[in-house]
């Protein structure tokens, strides 16, 4: 295992490489206000991040990643366009796997640029691929934007589209919702009984708590409206499932997705962006004919990527997490920007894992 | 040195533990005054009785400061990550049964499943500007259960007692707590979700996998396990 000093030295070297490519080095505090991260990720972040507190500032988290504070820094006073790099440690609770590090170094490269998103995607991917050259890693890529476009354009109620969008990053729950909206599963008996009742709230227990009777009534009305809604069509459903299953080299994946777009025309613009990205990657010297693309890639990770996503893996070391990963997070800048937004894409590398792989190769 | 057996120091749980061991020829008792936490063991040599809070027994077993201990499955699974690697279950004791469940107000006629809870949480957050709060002391178990169930837009708030009252007091919208008969839930106008059973718990005798044992202690342990028929 590489020592801490070796790891930090490699981190500094990698950061210097990104600086040479025009990125401005930035530092972020280790203590982050817990509220921002909890609002973004929900309660699950508590299982992944260390929480501490003091009586004055309340709950703080040891930074579980750099992306959120770097975006905040940029949204507060960054000039446009901007390229940032950073190196430092992040902290992750590991309660399920004692083999995984709870404190490790990350080096990142982030691009905030609205001129040419495809070129920015390709630049981030290519610079990170370059930093990993020689390690013989497998690159995985995907595009959450294609799935999001498909869901946004489904021929069903706005309520159903919103419910599916909310669970894009929870594949299990997404699938359950889809089955329900396609009428592939029976209505639960308790739900059916409640809907059959003329006034489900008549004679019920007293109202307690902050969720009011009016809110309960509003949801009953929504459930009634949904019960009257026709199922999502078999054509859309089949196409959506085909989309989720696409897993080929990039040019073939694009061709396959273009076929699927015959039944899901709403993904056309997202596919144009994918096509432009593949061209931009090729222009950067990436061998796109051998680049894997999985339409479902990145769905079970951190829920801020909403476009291009990628990861680099050591195939001979399946026990290791991704050596590098990243993606596009335009929506995150919107949520943290209080009205402002800017297209953004970035990625991180783990120098500790790079050294470990190099050490094993020697 | 002797083998250390940890038993809850208070109330009915302690008495029932004493009864369970007595039925197997091992007589545990409190010594000294009513208020002193000291105990004695008769029937088997080489065992020391340690009386302490049921909530601390998992930690003491994991640290190897107790060889054996009696506490609930709920406390072991809440407090010890990867608990199977740290403790071995010797015998369920057949008392202290309780279910860890998720409960919501009875008048929420629209909420019967996790699926409903998730939808209600989304609407609640949009309307009130904060996530739907669930009061509990079982943070890890509840969070993991809700993660697997795909529930979002909730927040856990800590409640170390009288959890059923938090909804009426508007410090939480729902609760996750231990119940045996459901009477306290009903009295507080709450109902369990139909798919909200997180864990079935009962008082259980555990062995620490990490506690160091001398040859004599190992022999005592084997004798004890044979005697209680586990």
Confidence at B34, pLDDT banded by 50, 70, 90: low
B143–A42 C-beta distance less than 8 A: no
For residues B87-111, give the mean pLDDT. Answer: 95
- Considering the domain architecture, whether residues B33 and B87 belong to the same structural domain is answered as yes
In a domain, A309, yes or no: no
Chain B partners within 8 Å of A198 (Cβ) = none
Each residue of A195-252: pLDDT tens digit? 999 899 888 789 999 999 999 999 999 999 999 999 999 999 999 999 999 999 999 9
Q: How many domains does chain A have?
A: 1
Distance CA B44, CA A349 (A): 59
Give the one of B120, B124, B167 whose C-beta lies nearest to A208's C-beta: B167
In order, the DSSP letters of B106-139 are: TT-TT--SHHHHHHHHHHHHHHHSSPEEEEES-H
Which residues of chain B have a Cβ shorter than 8 Å from any chain A Cβ?
Answer: 81-82, 105-110, 112-113, 115-116, 118-120, 122-124, 127-128, 131-132, 139-140, 143-144, 146-150, 152-156, 167-168, 170, 172-173, 188-189, 194
In order, the DSSP letters of A129-168 are: HHHTTTS-PEEEEEEHHHHHHHHHT-SS-HHHHHHHHHTT
C-alpha distance from A245 to closest chain B C-alpha (Å): 21
What end-to-end distance do the CA atoms of chain B give, in Å? 24
- Considering the domain architecture, whether residues B73 and B142 belong to the same structural domain is answered as no
CA B150 to chain centre: 24
- Closest Cα partner for B109 from A198, A29, A77? A198
B122–A190 C-beta distance less than 8 A: no
pLDDT of residue B11: 82
Give percent of chain B with pLDDT exceeding 70.
Answer: 97
pLDDT of residue A302: 60
Residues 6+ apart with CB under 8 A from A280: A116, A118, A119, A121, A122
Chain B partners within 8 Å of A205 (Cβ) = 105-107, 189
C-alpha distance from B79 to closest chain A C-alpha (Å): 11
B152–A170 C-beta distance less than 8 A: yes
Each residue of B209-227: pLDDT tens digit? 999 989 989 999 998 888 8
C-alpha distance from A251 to closest chain B C-alpha (Å): 34
C-alpha distance from A204 to closest chain B C-alpha (Å): 6
- Considering the domain architecture, whether residues B15 and B75 belong to the same structural domain is answered as yes
DSSP state at residue A261: T
- Considering the domain architecture, whether residues B102 and B197 belong to the same structural domain is answered as yes
Task: Decide: helix, strand or coil at residue B54.
Answer: coil
Contact of A83 with chain B, judged by CB distance below 8 Å, is answered with no
Confidence at B1, pLDDT banded by 50, 70, 90: low
- Beta-carbon neighbour count of residue B189 at 10 Å? 18
In a domain, A184, yes or no: yes
Give the one of B109, B116, B156 whose C-beta lies nearest to A204's C-beta: B109
In a domain, A37, yes or no: no
A38–B155 C-beta distance less than 8 A: yes
Q: How many domains does chain B have?
A: 2
Chain B partners within 8 Å of A49 (Cβ) = none
* B218 touches B2 (CB < 8 A): no
- Considering the domain architecture, whether residues B170 and B90 belong to the same structural domain is answered as no
Domain of residue A179, residue span: 157-232
In order, the DSSP letters of A53-88 are: EETTTEEEEE-S-SHHHHHHHHHHH--SSEEEEEEE
- Considering the domain architecture, whether residues B215 and B193 belong to the same structural domain is answered as no
pLDDT of residue A299: 85
Residue of A nearest to B186 (CA): A205
Contact of A51 with chain B, judged by CB distance below 8 Å, is answered with no
B124–A43 C-beta distance less than 8 A: no
Each residue of B127-151: pLDDT tens digit? 999 999 999 999 999 999 999 999 9
Task: Decide: helix, strand or coil at residue A259.
Answer: helix
The two beta strands, B87-92 and B203-208, are: antiparallel
Q: How many CB pairs under 8 A join A and B?
A: 104
For residues B198-219, give the mean pLDDT. Answer: 93
A191–B131 C-beta distance less than 8 A: no
| Neighbour-count burial for B158-181, b at 16+ CB within 10 Å, e otherwise | ebeeebbbbbeeeebbbbbbbbee
B168–A209 C-beta distance less than 8 A: yes
- Considering the domain architecture, whether residues B57 and B40 belong to the same structural domain is answered as yes
C-alpha distance from A36 to closest chain B C-alpha (Å): 12
B120–A211 C-beta distance less than 8 A: yes
B123–A219 C-beta distance less than 8 A: yes
Distance CA A22, CA B11 (A): 69
In a domain, A107, yes or no: no
DSSP state at residue B154: E
- Considering the domain architecture, whether residues B9 and B76 belong to the same structural domain is answered as yes
- Considering the domain architecture, whether residues B168 and B208 belong to the same structural domain is answered as no
- Considering the domain architecture, whether residues B92 and B163 belong to the same structural domain is answered as no
In a domain, A312, yes or no: no
Distance CA A326, CA A312 (A): 9
Regions in chain A scoring below 70 on pLDDT: 302-303, 361-362
Chain A partners within 8 Å of B170 (Cβ) = 209-210
B150–A172 C-beta distance less than 8 A: yes
- Considering the domain architecture, whether residues B210 and B183 belong to the same structural domain is answered as no
C-alpha distance from A156 to closest chain B C-alpha (Å): 18
Task: Decide: helix, strand or coil at residue B98.
Answer: strand
Domain of residue B207, residue span: 3-96+203-228
- Closest Cα partner for B75 from B91, B61, B85, B90? B61
Can you give the pTM of this predicted structure? 0.88
Beta strand segments in chain A, E: 24-25, 31-33, 51-54, 58-62, 82-91, 103-112, 138-143, 247-249, 292-294, 308-313, 324-328, 344-349
pLDDT of residue B230: 67
Distance CA A297, CA A301 (A): 9
Confidence at B36, pLDDT banded by 50, 70, 90: low
Query: Which CATH number fits the domain that encloses residue B222?
Result: 3.40.190.10
Give the one of A42, A218, A220 whose C-beta lies nearest to B153's C-beta: A42
ipTM field: 0.88
In a domain, A222, yes or no: yes
Interface probe for A, chosen from B62, B103, B109 (most Cβ of A below 10 Å), is: B109
In a domain, A353, yes or no: no
- Considering the domain architecture, whether residues B29 and B49 belong to the same structural domain is answered as yes
């Amino acid at each position: 295992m590489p020592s801490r000093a070796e790891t930090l030295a490699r981190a500094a070297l990698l950061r210097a490489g990104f600086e040479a490519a025009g990125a401005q080095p930035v530092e972020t505090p280790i203590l982050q206000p817990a509220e921002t991260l909890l609002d973004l990720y929900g309660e699950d972040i508590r299982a992944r991040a260390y929480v501490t507190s003091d009586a004055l500032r309340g709950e703080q988290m040891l930074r579980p990643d750099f992306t959120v504070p770097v975006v905040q820094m940029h949204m507060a006073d960054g000039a446009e366009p901007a390229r940032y790099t950073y190196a430092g440690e992040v902290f992750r609770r590991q309660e399920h796997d004692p083999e995984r590090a709870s404190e490790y170094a990350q080096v990142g490269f982030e691009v905030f640029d609205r001129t040419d998103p495809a070129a920015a995607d390709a630049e981030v991917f290519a610079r990170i691929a370059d930093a990993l050259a020689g390690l013989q890693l497998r690159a995985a890529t995907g595009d959450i934007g294609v799935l999001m476009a498909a869901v946004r354009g489904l021929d069903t109620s706005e309520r159903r589209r919103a419910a599916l969008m909310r669970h894009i990053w929870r594949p299990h729950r997404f699938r359950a919702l889809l089955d329900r909206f396609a009428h592939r599963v029976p209505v639960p008996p308790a739900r059916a009984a409640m809907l059959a009742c003329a006034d489900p709230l008549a004679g019920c227990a007293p109202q307690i708590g902050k969720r009011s009777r009016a809110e309960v009534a509003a949801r009953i009305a929504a459930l009634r409206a949904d019960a009257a809604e026709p199922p999502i069509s078999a054509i859309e459903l089949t196409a959506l499932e085909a989309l989720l299953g696409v897993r080929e080299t990039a040019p073939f994946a694009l061709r396959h997705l273009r076929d699927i777009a015959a039944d899901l025309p709403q993904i056309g613009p997202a596919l144009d962006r994918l096509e432009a990205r593949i061209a931009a990657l090729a222009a950067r010297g990436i061998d796109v004919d051998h680049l894997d693309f999985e339409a479902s890639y990145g769905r079970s990770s951190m829920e801020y990527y909403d476009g291009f996503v990628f990861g680099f893996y050591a195939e001979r070391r399946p026990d290791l997490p991704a050596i590098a990963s990243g993606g596009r997070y335009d929506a995150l800048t919107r949520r943290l920007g209080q009205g402002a937004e800017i297209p953004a894409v970035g990625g991180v590398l783990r120098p500790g894992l790079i050294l470990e792989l190099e050490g094993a190769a020697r | 040195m002797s083998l250390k057996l940890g038993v809850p120091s208070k109330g009915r749980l302690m008495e029932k533990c004493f009864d369970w061991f007595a039925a197997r020829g091992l007589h545990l008792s409190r010594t000294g005054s009513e208020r002193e936490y000291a105990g004695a063991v008769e029937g088997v040599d080489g065992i020391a009785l340690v009386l302490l809070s049921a909530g601390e027994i998992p930690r003491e077993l994991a640290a190897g400061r107790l060889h054996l201990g009696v506490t609930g499955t709920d406390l072991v699974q809440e407090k010890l990550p990867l608990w199977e690697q740290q403790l071995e279950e010797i015998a369920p004791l057949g008392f202290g049964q309780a279910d860890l469940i998720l409960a919501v107000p009875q008048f929420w006629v629209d909420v019967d499943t996790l699926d409903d809870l998730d939808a209600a949480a989304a609407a609640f957050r949009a309307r009130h500007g904060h996530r739907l709060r669930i009061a509990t002391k079982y943070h890890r178990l509840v969070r993991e259960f809700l993660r697997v169930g795909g529930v979002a837009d909730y927040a856990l708030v800590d409640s170390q007692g009288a959890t059923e009252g938090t909804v009426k007091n508007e410090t939480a919208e729902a609760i996750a707590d231990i119940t045996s008969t459901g009477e306290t839930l009903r009295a507080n106008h709450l109902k369990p979700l139909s798919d909200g059973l997180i864990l079935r718990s009962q008082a259980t005798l555990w062995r620490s996998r990490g506690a160091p044992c001398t040859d004599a202690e190992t022999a005592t342990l084997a004798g004890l396990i044979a005697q209680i028929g586990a």
